[in-house]
Structure 1
Amino acid sequence: MPQTVRGVVALSKGEPVVTTNIVIPDPGPGEAVVDISACGVCHTDLHYREGGINDEFPFLLGHEAAGVVESVGEGVTDVAPGDFVVLNWRAVCGSCRACLRGRPWYCFNTHNAKQKMTLEDGTELSPALGIGAFADKTLVAAGQCTKVDPTASPAAVGLLGCGVMAGLGAAINTGNVQRGDSVAVIGCGGVGSAAIAGARLANAAKIIAIDLDDRKLEWAKGMGATHTINPSTDGDVVEAIQALTDGNGADVVIDAVGRPETWKQAFYGRDLAGTVVLVGVPTPDMQLELPLIDVFGRGGSLKSSWYGDCLPSRDFPMLVDLYQQGRLDLDAFVTETIGIDDVEAAFDKMHAGDVLRSVVTL
């Protein structure tokens, strides 16, 4: 039978979120109901509340989550009731041209649950990134559930569901950081800090953290940064990167901000034939002007990283294992744990830069 549970909903653009009753249907074919243990508060959820993603209100927010599968629908074989899972928004189809070419991390037809969760009056909800996990339970496509070590902390490993995976993957998957490389990361919030952690995991020799906020630079050093640059006191970013890399620039520069000025800093702050990775999300109105001869003359790679080019079934269990071994400190990303009624206050803290992640625990 359908269940009524609590959920955090954005009813209209720009208005404070509310905790209200929502209705979860029984899982249909290919679907699963997951009992949520923890869910991180991500900037994407604030974008949904502000109408920055689309206008399909009301939204059931939350997507960086871990929990336990409660029930599954017909045809589900990869997960079963009782499995501890991290939720993801890349449930690959297996049949699009990317999947058939052996590149499922570029899947063009990812799955979400076909049924809709609703308010008690029957109003259909739009789940954030097809998940909607600021709730006691949620309905997802079974492919959005990735089974991991059940002894891991839900508050920590749930963050792999979005921002932390985006940053780790930007370094490891998209940037292909190698042992001994020099890496610069522009913007040291949650995603940038994760990129720094990824560069350390890949055994980069020099990891340069760049941010205007000294608090974030301190966090970055805890994640593995060997050097820091604050442009407000250390001057021009490109010159500062070059000064730390024997005048050459970094092998890989990751832009975790996503603005034309930071992308240009990344472009000119890399070594010849170096790699630029854009993982910060620009707004639709942003434009970039760049001399084409500079693109030609510098060589190398200019890449965008979408969800860290991850494949959840491959990457989540591996990263959780590294966390369990003490080689990847996911706990460091959890600034605070909060209740389900505290999401609006968490948005304020995130906007002010006071936290890496607030995590709702249920």
Structure 2
Amino acid sequence: MQQVQAVVARAKGAPVELATINVPNPGPGEAVVKVQACGVCHTDLHYREGGINDDFPFLLGHEAAGVIESVGPGVTTVAPGDFVVLNWRAVCGDCRACDRGEPWYCFATHNATQKMTLADGPDAGTELTPALGIGAFAEKTLVAAGQCTKVDQSARPAAVGLLGCGVMAGLGAAINTGAVTRGKSVAVIGCGGVGAAAVAGSALAGASPIIAVDIDSKKLETAKKMGATHTIDSSQTDPVEEIKRICAQTYRGADGADVVVEAVGRPETWKQAFYARDLAGTVVLVGVPTLEMKVPDLPLIDVFGRGGALKSSWYGDCLPSRDFPMLVDLYQQGRLNLDAFVTEEIGISDVEAAFEKMHHGDVLRSVVVL
């Protein structure tokens, strides 16, 4: 066992703290990772606010890249010295989803069996709940070996670590869940980190037009840099009607976008996405709603009459072992600008300030560099 510094959320809504934690030596199927960089994701803020569950104290951080320090018995997929991106979908290989060849829907993903604990103070020995089974706002963390995906060791940790959650969620929502391809039109509602990634994924797939919708002009400018062909300020313009107008200009008879990605996670924006899609179009919900939110009231005849598909995207329906190395290679080739998602690099003691910047929309991603 070793002791390291880490960011801990002790109670609902309370500011996070820098604490000393115990990291056990890896057991069977586990690995200890020396974290090099970890993005500050809105999901971490959800944990701090009690929006995920109330299993406090939480060890926050999950969009991470680092180097394998040690592995436990039976681990063959990674070895000490490997540069890895961490993921929260360590597939089991034996559930009904895996058996039918759809491991991205795995129902029994793995986390480390052992628990990291607080090391000092009156709560010494208290077990920590790692965010998404990772807990990477820490100098080192313990994870299941399957949560470690080996990638090109020359890649920038602060950039490729973001594939661990937000960037993969957005890219995958477009490409994997929404099946965006050449000849399809796309609208993305909400252009924070996940929405900007959905725009980038749509551009990578060759979609056109790609319409970015937000109320923040800075986010819309970022979306244009990621590949958006049109932008809509929905505080000034009805986004549904404007999406329909733009698509009709491009494709004769179009009555909306082929794929609408909702990256906000609110009932009112999901309803906009529902009505902004073309006949037989697809809505992809990748924004994370809070526990009290409900599906908006819709006439059932509209659900039936418009056809198509209403989907949720879990982690961009990704398979890390397949998708992470491919996306890192595209980044290394200059075809996927992951650097554009890194607004600032910060220290491990700056996470609470990064949450505040997130509230004000000042950053796409703050990244803790260790």
Partner of residue 70, structure 1: 69
Deviation at 1:180, TM superposition (A): 2.1
Alignment of 1:116-195 (within 5 A): 116-120=115-119, 121-195=124-198
Partner of 1:39: 38
CA drift of 1:261 comes to 1.2
Q: CA–CA distance in 2 between the matches of 1:224 and 1:147?
A: 28
Give the AA of the match of 1:193: A
* Whole-angstrom distance in 2 between the partners of 1:33 and 1:307: 23
* 1:122-166 Cα deviation digits (max 9, x unpaired): 111111110000000000000000000000000000000001100
Matched, 1:111 2:122: no
Q: Distance in 2 between matches of 1:4 and 1:258?
A: 38
- Give the equivalent residue in structure 1 for 2:233: 230
The secondary structure found in structure 2 opposite 1:68 is strand
Where 1:205 maps in the other structure, the secondary structure is coil
CA distance in 1, matches of 2:86, 2:138: 13
Q: What TM-score results when the alignment is normalised by the length of structure 1?
A: 0.98
Shift of 1:298: 0.9
**Counterpart for residue 251 of structure 2:** none
SS of 2:270's equivalent in the other structure is helix
1:38-86 deviation per Cα after TM superposition (whole angstroms, max 9, x unaligned)? 0000011111111111111111100000000000000000000000000
- CA apart distance, 1:88: 0.3
CA–CA distance in 2 between the matches of 1:48 and 1:283? 11
Aligned-partner Cα distance in 2 for 1:136–1:322: 28
| 2-structure distance, mates of 1:58, 1:258 | 25
Q: Match of 2:263?
A: 256
- Residue 279 (structure 2) pairs with residue 280 (structure 1): no
Structure 2: distance between partners of 1:298 and 1:212: 27
1:181 Cα deviation from its structure 2 partner: 1.2
Structure 1: 4+ residue segments shifted above 6 A: none
Amino acid paired to 1:135: A
Using the alignment, how far apart are the partners of 2:90 and 2:109 within structure 1?
5
**What percent of counterpart residues are identical?**
79
Q: Post-superposition shift, 1:263?
A: 1.1
Q: How many pairs were matched up? A: 360
- In structure 1, what is the Cα distance between the partners aligned to 2:137 and 2:289? 25
Q: How does 1:1-362 map to 2 (within 5 A)?
A: 2-120=1-119, 121-233=124-236, 235-246=237-248, 248-287=255-294, 288-362=296-370
Q: Distance in 2 between matches of 1:332 and 1:258?
A: 23
Q: CA RMSD in A?
A: 0.7
Q: CA deviation at 1:284?
A: 2.3
The Cα offsets for residues 267-314 of structure 1, whole Å up to 9 and x where unpaired, read as 111111111111111222222211111111111111110100000000
Match of 2:203, SS state, is: helix
In the alignment, the residues of structure 1 paired with residue 215 and residue 111 of structure 2 have an alpha-carbon distance, to the nearest angstrom, of 38
CA distance in structure 1 between the partners assigned to 2:223 and 2:14 by the alignment = 33
Q: Please state how far the C-alpha of 1:258 moved relative to its aligned partner.
A: 1.5
Cα displacement string for residues 74-131 of structure 1 (whole angstroms, at most 9, x for unaligned residues):
0000000000000000000011111111110000100000001111121111111100
List runs of 5+ in structure 1 lacking aligned partners.
none
Distance 2:291 2:6 in 1: 30
Any idea what SS the aligned residue of 2:235 has?
A: helix
Question: Aligned to 1:245, what secondary structure does the other structure show?
Answer: helix
Question: Equivalents in 1 of 2:203, 2:339: separation in Å?
Answer: 16
The offset of 1:259, in angstroms, is 1.3
| Matching residue's letter, 1:318 | M
